[in-house]
A and B are shown apart, each in its own frame.
Chain A
């Protein structure tokens, strides 16, 4: 998926809750690429334009699993605290 596609996907999925500047995804993508979590490739889109495509690597998938696990731990911890407070 290319950068523009990614931003749109995020906006759609989050139902426009997360609306930062669309450009801010690019520095983040560079960091992910340097960590070896994503691969990039220049390809031609369906309406024949050159675009940079991003793809998760195996290491990236593993990292995603870890991050997700730690995120859900965090979320459940926070909701526990919030539940105790109320």
Chain B
């Protein structure tokens, strides 16, 4: 270790040693020395007091060497630091307005940046909390040729890949459902379940908190011990963390199960909302590729890249037809089947990626604006403290000492801003802005930790010190020498130039944010006023999940009978005009629309196959939802006999027949695993937005939900839907309370949970929430930037005008028109605005492209939004320059000249 380094360490150690201790040791050493010397002198024959005086003389002044030694110890530098900090605090306390401005601006800026930044980092960048997370992949299977847009696997494709792949050490699969309910204890409770291949647990390396994982026997069709795993959350919430839960039988509407283990909260896959984990049955009953429901995840073998794995799986697709003869090579060809392998982290956060990046940029911009404003404050303060600093400099203060003073002052202010920044960041991370797992995946992994606090302090001190140093730049000090030279208040060119640049920068940022807010505002308006195809006013909805099992409602007829009884009871309530039932309500779901119906017009070969989304509908459904009937009729009893009736949306009619005049014609539903089934079109209804408003209208086919199964035998299932889960829509002038609905359902079957009781309007609001929230965030940042920009323009123009007040006075005295003098000031401001606006427009053209994913029916370069934002900014900033301009024009020449 070089001795310089060692000396630094020794000095640092002094910091932590008790100062009094080393001082005392030194005193002891000195007095020992002097006593020895005295004794020596006495031995040489001096008298005692004489000997002592001689010894002291010889030593050379204890105080002097005391200081010199402590200097050598490095105590002084630290003393200086403490002294400078004390001075800084005193100086800051003399300027409370300045200090408050800096602390508040930096505090809010840093708090917001660290708070939001932690969320963006935690979701987008941090590794997934599993072993070797870079090896975890999501494996997709897509069939664009069939018009489907999901990347899910069918059982056949999953098993084929499990058996054949060499790239993956493990492939897991799961599907989720929230249509299950716990029926033990008093109240039935809806739960979310995941059915998982046992390999999924090995893949993630999960260990149960209690009990054990599934065994091979659990996945056989018989599943003798009816095993189920429960989540730590459910275990604590519903079973009070009872350690005797393992081995207990719990009541579930799909059949009771025995708990074999509890999975830890840290597993939280695929989402933390999963309560129950079912073993997924292994055998492939009907090999096909159209009905797909499996999410597939895999762990790559060491050294295999995702693209190599993807190439391997793609090469395995043709052999799918060899393994399962029911899947023909022709079908694979027509479906354009292919696989995708992407990192599980990327796949998980994909839905929110662009918004979070935007949020990150936004927060950086806010921090930048806050910092520029603080820099401006510091420059102004240096200017104010000018004489003092100038005198110090001319008296020989070194630049280094001065720099130290400025940096320490900035650092102290930065540190003080942590008082605001820490709670702000903590607040941001504890509330997470009201977001939940629904909107942002991985949110449960994020919390306020001491890391966050350290980052806040680091940012606060660093930014504070850096900003403090700007006071010492040429711009800051330049003006001082001018000031020393002339007693007049004129500021230097460099100083003005820096301020001008900062203000132009703020104007530019404000413009970019305003344009973005404008575009999102327009998108929001477009979404809000989009013809969603149904009338959500005075309509409420809820969901009922009926039990499965022996005495359950798996058969169509039994479920339909239950729904019909419930509709009757609800329709009899006062003020209710119509009650409709469907498998799913428009805009009520999440994710992409699943166009999993393969339809063909008239059932003739050679006609194109059209993909559509399917739904169930009771006779009154369209009336209750306000979906207009365009032609034909709605469902009625007898519609399930023969070729069952269906109702199609206008878009589907056009896609199939190129006309909406299709009542009475036949369409055929194609399936891989069974012969095509024909249906007769009974009516045509208006289009609706299905999964998300942004996706536009979706071709829809409705299958009848008829009372008592229309008298067909119990086993007959004429429609491709489960009837156990149903959504109800109630239209009326007076809508029933949630408790009323729950009571009625409880009277019909006490095992059936009622969920999601809400107005249809709130569903529609949710569908626009994503854009609305982003718009509000950007509008907020844009508003702040606009305000700061306007204040900046005003202060800079006003300051410059003040500096030239003598010049104006002379001009006016010499006969210049006041309007001309005012115009000079106005021109100064206009130049700033022009530069800022041009830069802002160029930046905005580049930046708004990143918004594309959030925009609905508006181009990222829309002239109207750009024009409006520019106009608003220009008008406001020009107004800010008019005031100083008017003041300049009215300068009374006599007073100014006399003032000299």
Contact = CB atoms under 8 A, between A and B. Distances in A.
A37 B7 CA distance: 11
Given A3-B33, A22-B37, A34-B11, A50 B28 contact: yes
Contacts of B32: 2-4, 49-52
Contacts of A10: none
B65 A52 contact: no
Nearest to A42: B25
Nearest to B13: A34
B69 interface: yes
Interface residues of A, number: 27
A49 to B, nearest CB: 7
Contacts of B28: 50, 52
9 closest A-B pairs (Cβ-Cβ)? A21-B60, A23-B65, A35-B3, A27-B68, A34-B10, A30-B72, A4-B36, A34-B7, A4-B33
A28 B7 CA distance: 13
Nearest to B3: A35
B60 A20 contact: yes
Given A4-B33, A30-B73, A51-B32, A22 B6 contact: no
A37 B61 contact: no
A14 interface: no
Counting chain B CB atoms within 10 Å of each CB, the highest count among A3, A23, A59 belongs to: A23
Contacts of B73: 30, 34
Contacts of B7: 31, 34-35
A21 B642 CA distance: 122
Contact of A34 (B1, B35, B61, B72): B72
Contact of A21 (B59, B72, B74): B59
Interface of A: 2-4, 7-8, 20-24, 26-28, 30-31, 33-37, 42, 49-52, 59, 63
Contacts of A31: 7, 72
A43 B548 CA distance: 89
9 contacts: A26-B29, A27-B72, A34-B11, A34-B73, A34-B74, A37-B3, A52-B29, A59-B3, A63-B3
Given A34-B10, A35-B7, 4 more contacts: A20-B60, A23-B59, A27-B68, A28-B72
A80 B70 CA distance: 41
A51 B31 CA distance: 10
Contacts of A26: 26, 29-30, 65, 68-69
B438 interface: no
B590 interface: no
A2 to B, nearest CB: 7
A27 B29 contact: no
B25 A27 contact: no
Contacts of B30: 23, 26
Nearest to B71: A27
Contacts of A37: 3
A71 to B, nearest CB: 18
Contacts of A52: 25, 28-29, 32
Contacts of A2: 32
A24 B68 CA distance: 8
A36 B37 contact: no
Contacts of A23: 30, 33, 59-62, 64-65
Interface string B58-102: 111110110011011110000000000000000000000000000
Contacts of B6: 34-36
A22 B3 contact: no
Nearest to B74: A34
Contacts of A8: 40
Contacts of A20: 60
Interface in B585-602: none
B25 A24 contact: no
Nearest to B36: A4
B436 to A, nearest CB: 58
A48 B779 CA distance: 81
A62 to B, nearest CB: 11
B35 to A, nearest CB: 8
Counting chain B CB atoms within 10 Å of each CB, the highest count among A30, A52, A59, A63 belongs to: A30
Counting chain B CB atoms within 10 Å of each CB, the highest count among A2, A4, A7 belongs to: A4
A34 B29 CA distance: 17
Contacts of A4: 32-33, 36-37
Contacts of B72: 27-28, 30-31, 34
Nearest to A11: B58
Contacts of B1: 36
A29 to B, nearest CB: 8
B51 to A, nearest CB: 14
A49 B25 CA distance: 14
A31 B71 CA distance: 10
Nearest to B62: A23
B30 to A, nearest CB: 7
B29 A30 contact: no
A52 B33 CA distance: 10
A7 B28 CA distance: 17
Counting chain B CB atoms within 10 Å of each CB, the highest count among A20, A36, A59 belongs to: A36
A50 to B, nearest CB: 7
